[in-house]
Structure 1
Amino acid sequence: MTRILILDGHPDPRPERLGRALVAAYAAGATKAGHDVRIIKVADLGLPVLRTAEAFASPHPPEEVRRAQDDIRWAQHLAIFHPLWLGAAPALLKGFFEQVFRYGFALSPDNPLARPLKGRTARTVVTMGMPAPLYGLAFGAFGVKALERSVLALAGFWPVRRTLLGGVGAISTATYGKWLARMRALGADAR
């Protein structure tokens, strides 16, 4: 059994979003396989925007941040779902990481190689309008790589795996079903 935290990073709280269905399928596959699952919906949080270095370094973050940090400490595997907006994660999700992955939790101001969250694995699942190979080849997947390398790997998550799902505006019912089945399988494997 693996302890899995799913981070639903879509800023739109409406339940009909594709990301919600992908999260639900991943959670269902993981639960059916006997894994322990928790979900954080970033759209439901009321986190303030960080504006100063002092706030980032503060050992007293808001209560919602502390709860998210506790869930991440609990987890052995983190699955992050988000749409691609302007080549990267939406601002609300970026703000979540700025608040939660702060000094003293995910980073050390004295030792940039400390890796405080070492021993955990992660997966990013990113939906996008453009074809996924185009994002990877023509744009280098830089927005996704920034999250994977400069946030997750820097904090100690390894390996960090990736699933890119492109062409979401024109997917067929068959493709939609395949994506949900793929998410259930990834959840079952805790990958």
Structure 2
Amino acid sequence: MTEILIIQGHPDASETHLRHAIAEEYRSGAEAAGHRVTVIDIAQQDVPFLRTQAEWEGSDWPPICAPAQAAISAAEHLVFVYPLWIGDVPALLKAWIEQVFRKGFAFEMDRHGWHPALRGKSARVIVTMGMPGFVYRWFFFAHSLRSLDRNILKFCGIRPVRWSILGHAEDPNGRAQTRFLAKARQLGLRAR
């Protein structure tokens, strides 16, 4: 049994979206396989944006940090589900990551350099987009996904990090969405 944390990164709290259905299928598959799943929906949280270096380095962390950090600490596997917006993660998800993955929790710094604090955890990043997935991967080199992978998750010690790039998210005939949901359930069953 694996402890799984799903971070639902769609910033719209007013309605459910394809990303919610994908996260739900992943959760359903994981629970069917006997894994325990916790979900954080960032759209339901009051996520403040960091604006200064003093805020980043300070010890006055917002209330969202303690429960999110406890859930991350308890998890063995993290699953990020979000839409690609203007070539990157939505701003609210980025703000959540900046608040939660702080020095003193996700990594440490001393005179010898940085030390990752989240070793022993793995991650799956599921990103949806309107463009074909191969265009994002091969033409744009999955630039923002690579940044999240290397500069945040692996920097904090999370390895391996696996990707699922789901293009054509607005397929009018629904075939792409049906494939996404089936894939999410299979990933959940395997806790990958």
* Same topology, TM > 0.5: yes
Distance (whole Å) between structure 1 residues aligned to residue 53 and residue 66 of structure 2: 18
- 1:133-180 Cα offsets, whole Å, 9 max, x none, are 001111111011111110000001000000000011125333322221
Q: Which residue of 1 aligns with 2:9?
A: 9
Equivalent in the alignment of 2:53: 53
Match status 1:118 vs 2:119: yes
Query: Is the 2:169–2:176 Cα contact (8 Å) retained in structure 1?
Result: no
CA–CA separation in structure 1 for the residues paired with 2:14 and 2:168: 20
- Matched pairs, number: 191
Partner of 2:98: 98
Give the aligned partner of residue 177 of structure 2.
Answer: 176
Shift of 1:112: 4.3
Helix, strand or coil at the partner of 1:54: helix
Task: Say what the alpha-carbon RMSD is for the aligned residues.
Answer: 1.3
Instruction: Provide the TM-score with structure 2 as the length reference.
Output: 0.95
For 2:4, give the aligned amino acid. I
Q: List alignment gaps of at least 5 residues for structure 1.
A: none
Superposition map of 1:54-73 within 5 A? 54-73=54-73
Instruction: Tell me, in whole angstroms, the C-alpha distance in 1 between the residues paired with 2:92 and 2:131.
Output: 21
Greater helix fraction, Structure 1 or Structure 2:
1
Q: For the structure 1 residues 64 and 155, does the alpha-carbon distance in structure 2 shift closer, same or farther, using more than 3 Å as the test?
A: same
Q: 1:62 to 1:33 in 2, by over 3 A?
A: same
Cα distance, 1:80 vs structure 2: 0.1
Q: TM-score, normalised by structure 1?
A: 0.96
| 1:128 maps to amino acid | M
Aligned to 1:150: 151
Task: Give, in angstroms, the shift of residue 47 of structure 1.
Answer: 1.6
| Distance in 2 between residues matched to 1:32 and 1:190, nearest whole Å | 11
The structure carrying a bigger strand percent of its residues is 2
2:175 maps to amino acid: A
Q: Any unmatched runs of 5+ in structure 2?
A: none
Contact 2:83 2:129 in 1 (8 A): yes
Q: Secondary structure at the match of 2:108?
A: coil
C-alpha distance in 1, partners of 2:130/2:140? 14
Q: For residues 112 and 17 of structure 1, what CA distance do their matches in structure 2 show?
A: 41
Question: How big is each residue's C-alpha offset from its partner over 1:39-90, in whole Å with a ceiling of 9 and x where there is no partner?
Answer: 0001011021111222212233122111101100010000000000111100
Residues 115 and 171 (structure 1), Cα distance of their counterparts in 2 relative to 1, 3 Å cut? farther
- Measured after TM superposition, the shift of residue 95 of structure 1 is 0.3
